[in-house]
Structure 1
Amino acid sequence: MSSHQHQHDPNHVQKQPNRPKIKDVLGSVVVIMVPLPAQGHLNQLLELAHLVASYGVPVHYVGSASHNRQAKLRSHVPLLSTPSNIRFHDFPTPPFLSPAPSPNSPYKFPSHLQPAFDATVSLRGPIASLVRSLSSGSRRVVVVHDYLMASVVQDAASVPNAEIYVFNTVSALTLCWYMWESTGMAPPPEVELDIAELISSKGFPSFLHSITDEFLKFVASQNEFQKFSSGSIYNTCRVIEGHYVDLYASATANDTATKYWAIGPFNPVKVPEKTSRRSAHVCMEWLDKQAPSSVIYVSFGTATVLRDEQIREIAIGLERSGQKFIWVLREADKADIFSGGEARKIELPQGFEEMVETRDLGVVVRDWAPQLEILGHPATCVFLSHCGWNSCMESISMGMPILAWPMHSDQPRNAVLITRVLKIGLIVKDWMNQDDVVKSSTIEGAVKALMASEEGEQMRKRAAELGAAVRGSMDEGGVSRAELDSFISHISR
């Protein structure tokens, strides 16, 4: 039995949370969720919407028609179990460009999504109208917005019975890192020495090196509106990085007694069993036939574009590793994923897919894949990932170690958290050499190190133990459940 196998124990039943008895005092508190229109952001706030709605609180999820459709289409929570008190509002946005992502772009950052971000300015009026209309029939209107959507919810600050809460879509370590880096503050003495040295050194590229100037201006345009926030919500767990949650909270506390809640993981922590309702994706059928802890899952998220040369090296490295794999190889999302047009067909070495199928080495998935179900499957044992925060939280909550290949934004900091703080993974690509192609021999070596070495076994064991602790945090009496109870009690006070 593998070191993370206990997570699939059929005798383990996730406890039903003991909800606080607040419905009698709830009155008519309503929540509005305002996500940034990019998959990792849409998904997290929809998952939070499900958690809030499970307490009987009505939730209004707002965005353009295409982005709301995208969020629903890719939701981990089956539509049949969607609470009836989540309502989607399709607000009109002006037409925006939706260019195909370019593998030859000088940036790994998905700059092709910028037109969709810029178009969100048009949501300000409809959101203000929604807040006002709900406020007239509600005791309190609670607006939870993505950090990068602060400007579009600013009018809620002038509604007497409305409150605004910011959702931070990144890890607490990343928030601390950015704060220390941007202010020139030295990390406090209790921060791990090698992390403090990384933060203080000029050797690790700054956050500004991993985003575009255009996106930096967009971020800056949101900053002045954070002053309206009554509190912050994180998709993280104190079991994972409570130390950094507290450090960030204490460093950013102000005179208004801002509150902080580490509510994660937002994603479901119990995935459907083979016998119960789950996706009938072809890769799940293939996984069911594989030995326990024998498969590596490869996915670089929804916004990563890799050059053909790099894809060839990954293919050769996976084949030579001798390990079975599921590789999600799809083009990065456009700003509007439903806008049509011919998508780039990502080329693999000639005959590779036929060879993989003939030798039953793995599955190459060219479309959307049920990532959480794959990570929670007994046959899966390693995740080769770009370290987007969504993927990190899903992997950690399923007890899965990570081969870290960060691309841009917060991902390099998340990779440090995974490999140096939590010690549940290995770096595949050195962030200092962003433009280099990672050779097949490096990929092969990293896979073997995590799947077939004593050091890898220790990491897999730590990942399994951390996953069990994180899943337990969502049970009755668990630390994340207590934080969620606290948030619901606070907004319904």
Structure 2
Amino acid sequence: MAEQETEQQQQQQLILIPLPAAGHLASMVELAKLLVHRHSTLVVSIPIITSPSTAAAVTRYTDSLVQTPRVNLLRLHNDDEDQSVPGAIFSMIQNQKPRVREAVSAQLAGSGARLAGFVLDMLCTSMVEVAEEFSVPSYVYFTSGAAFLGLWLHVQELHDNEGFEFSEFKETELASPGSSHSVPIKVIPSSFLNKEWTATVHGMARGMRRTQGILVNTVRELESYALESLSGGMNIPKVYPVGPILNLKGEESSKDEEAIEWLDQQPESSVVFLCFGSMGAFRGEQVKEIACALEGSGQRFLWSLRRPGEGGAWPSPTDYEDVREVLPEGFLDRTAEIGRVMGWAPQAVVLAHKSIGGFVSHCGWNSTLESVWFGVPMATWPMYAEQQFNAFLLVKELEIATEVRMDYRSESGEIVSAEELQRGIRSLMEDCSRKETMKEFRDRVRGALMDGGSSSSSIAEFVRDVSTHNM
């Protein structure tokens, strides 16, 4: 009994607050699992905010991710917000503060662990006030890269100190301390360029500056230039590069078996994989251009093709009942020997396969890190959020990707031609130098999480800092 009491007294509770969106949720849950695995005195609780329309899907998703002792999910239901309104998710986070406060108080009362601090998703920095009410430090978990963090903080600093507005900016490029190249305005996130979003974007950056530290899902060996630029100036909290934080196991279903069996029969590094994330989908005209590009390239391919969602601000794509309804007539028959078309794909499982030689990607940060982890070179086709900036980083800064587009935005409705995509695919599959560079990064990134590696050491440093704060 005495030993149990001593162990309980030593336990420290961390509260992790994710944005209730697939990529952010998965990354935050994986961070929680890593922390408790590495440090036996930590207990992590994760308030999961859902709305009536998302509760069932989010519950299934998070339950599939969490089967880990000392990681607790706290279900918080939101009955007030209309998720069809753009920006509603951020007001929902703001309005959930009382429920988060109550859930944390109840969790602490039941566990007896000492509350050590809060870790907030990069888009949930308004919750810093809840941590302050509990008199504990707060930290940000930045689910994108260090170069983008540098850009975001730099833009906010320019706005607050010099009155900078993109709407009045006449240049085509902007110098950013996190990038060795000037950043083209065409790859700046749409939310940064839209004056209606200015208050929200800069408010989040100010919230980051109020915290004790920022955990970035990146690796020092991958973004050394950006991380060095963040180590001084701009009134930036301490930065902890803790990546890559990934769920590499993936989930396979019976529908995926045929595609995986087909991959088993292909030569090593011969297949190009096209997949555009949890929100990536194209309409009929663009689908036909992709099909023509694949057929014309002659490359082996595996294509994750999904139907665009309908209704709401961020409608989720769904699988086609029959992909023939959107593909050119006879396409599947003509390409039967060289390709496969599927719906939702277990991306990590596919990227890990030895037959995959290239990845046409939307450049979401999780997908980018998965591609680096498995050493698969990329072709960039960004869709939304900061993906255009990620594409710029991959092509120009790191030189591990070829460009289909760096500036494509899904809301534009623009069509990427078959010829343009075909050029990108051929460059992706034939450029040996990028393949070698990607393999070098793969080895460095994997080493970062090993004992004594840069990210492993950074995680340990974070735990020491949060454990000793205010003691």
Matched with 1:173 is 147
- Is the aligned partner of 1:384 residue 2:360? yes
Q: How big is each residue's C-alpha offset from its partner over 1:363-399, in whole Å with a ceiling of 9 and x where there is no partner?
A: 2222x32111111111111110111111111111111
Matched with 1:372 is 348
Structure number with the bigger relative contact order (C-alpha 8 A, sep ≥ 6) is 1
Provide the rounded CA distance (Å) in 1 between the counterparts of 2:196 and 2:416. 28
Matched with 2:130 is 155
Matched with 1:128 is 101
Provide the rounded CA distance (Å) in 2 between the counterparts of 1:88 and 1:422. 37
Provide the rounded CA distance (Å) in 2 between the counterparts of 1:89 and 1:449. 47
CA-CA distance at 1:224 after TM superposition: 4.6
Matched with 1:354 is 332
- Is the aligned partner of 1:259 residue 2:235? no
> Which one of 319, 336, 340 corresponds to residue 363 of structure 1?
340
Q: Which runs of 5+ in 1 are unaligned?
A: 1-22, 100-111
CA contact 2:26–2:247 (8 Å) conserved in 1: no
Identity between Structure 1 and Structure 2 (%): 25
Determine helix, strand or coil for the equivalent of 1:359: coil
**Equivalent residues in 2 for 1:105-254 (5 A)?**
114-135=87-108, 137-160=112-135, 162-184=136-158, 187=175, 192=180, 195=181, 198-199=182-183, 204=186, 206-208=188-190, 215-253=197-235
Matched with 2:427 is 449
- Residue 132 of structure 1 aligns with an amino acid whose one-letter code is S
- Residue 48 of structure 1 aligns with an amino acid whose one-letter code is L
- Residue 72 of structure 2 aligns with an amino acid whose one-letter code is R
TM-score (normalizing by structure 1): 0.78
Provide the rounded CA distance (Å) in 1 between the counterparts of 2:317 and 2:294. 31
CA-CA distance at 1:135 after TM superposition: 4.9
- Is the aligned partner of 1:465 residue 2:440? yes
Provide the rounded CA distance (Å) in 1 between the counterparts of 2:134 and 2:124. 18
CA-CA distance at 1:220 after TM superposition: 4.0
CA-CA distance at 1:469 after TM superposition: 1.3
> Which one of 3, 6, 10 corresponds to residue 27 of structure 1?
10
Matched with 2:290 is 314
Determine helix, strand or coil for the equivalent of 2:301: strand
CA-CA distance at 1:484 after TM superposition: 1.4
CA-CA distance at 1:210 after TM superposition: 6.5
Provide the rounded CA distance (Å) in 2 between the counterparts of 1:386 and 1:430. 10
Provide the rounded CA distance (Å) in 2 between the counterparts of 1:490 and 1:372. 33
CA contact 2:140–2:213 (8 Å) conserved in 1: yes
Provide the rounded CA distance (Å) in 2 between the counterparts of 1:211 and 1:343. 32
CA contact 1:29–1:491 (8 Å) conserved in 2: no
CA contact 1:61–1:89 (8 Å) conserved in 2: yes
CA contact 1:388–1:411 (8 Å) conserved in 2: yes
Matched with 2:3 is none
- Residue 428 of structure 1 aligns with an amino acid whose one-letter code is V
CA contact 1:34–1:145 (8 Å) conserved in 2: yes
Determine helix, strand or coil for the equivalent of 2:277: coil
CA contact 2:15–2:45 (8 Å) conserved in 1: yes
Q: How big is each residue's C-alpha offset from its partner over 1:90-112, in whole Å with a ceiling of 9 and x where there is no partner?
A: 1010254455xxxxxxxxxxxx7
Provide the rounded CA distance (Å) in 1 between the counterparts of 2:60 and 2:266. 28
CA-CA distance at 1:298 after TM superposition: 0.8
- Residue 283 of structure 2 aligns with an amino acid whose one-letter code is R
CA contact 1:134–1:141 (8 Å) conserved in 2: no
CA-CA distance at 1:489 after TM superposition: 2.5
CA contact 2:9–2:113 (8 Å) conserved in 1: no
Matched with 2:166 is none
- Residue 128 of structure 1 aligns with an amino acid whose one-letter code is R
Determine helix, strand or coil for the equivalent of 2:96: helix
CA-CA distance at 1:289 after TM superposition: 2.3
Matched with 1:59 is 44
Give the 3 Å change call, closer, same or farther, for CA 213–35 of structure 1 in structure 2: farther
**Equivalent residues in 2 for 1:36-75 (5 A)?**
36-54=19-37, 55-56=39-40, 57-65=42-50, 70=57, 73-74=60-61
Provide the rounded CA distance (Å) in 1 between the counterparts of 2:108 and 2:367. 36
CA contact 1:46–1:71 (8 Å) conserved in 2: no
Give the 3 Å change call, closer, same or farther, for CA 68–260 of structure 1 in structure 2: farther
Q: Which runs of 5+ in 2 are unaligned?
A: 1-5, 163-173
Provide the rounded CA distance (Å) in 2 between the counterparts of 1:90 and 1:133. 12
CA contact 1:353–1:364 (8 Å) conserved in 2: no
Determine helix, strand or coil for the equivalent of 1:32: strand
Provide the rounded CA distance (Å) in 1 between the counterparts of 2:320 and 2:313. 13
Provide the rounded CA distance (Å) in 1 between the counterparts of 2:403 and 2:221. 22
- Residue 329 of structure 2 aligns with an amino acid whose one-letter code is G
TM-score (normalizing by structure 2): 0.81
Determine helix, strand or coil for the equivalent of 2:123: helix
Provide the rounded CA distance (Å) in 2 between the counterparts of 1:144 and 1:469. 27
Aligned-residue RMSD, C-alpha: 3.5
**Runs of 4 or more consecutive aligned structure 1 residues displaced over 6 Å after TM superposition:** 23-26, 333-346
Give the 3 Å change call, closer, same or farther, for CA 154–331 of structure 1 in structure 2: farther
CA contact 2:291–2:328 (8 Å) conserved in 1: no
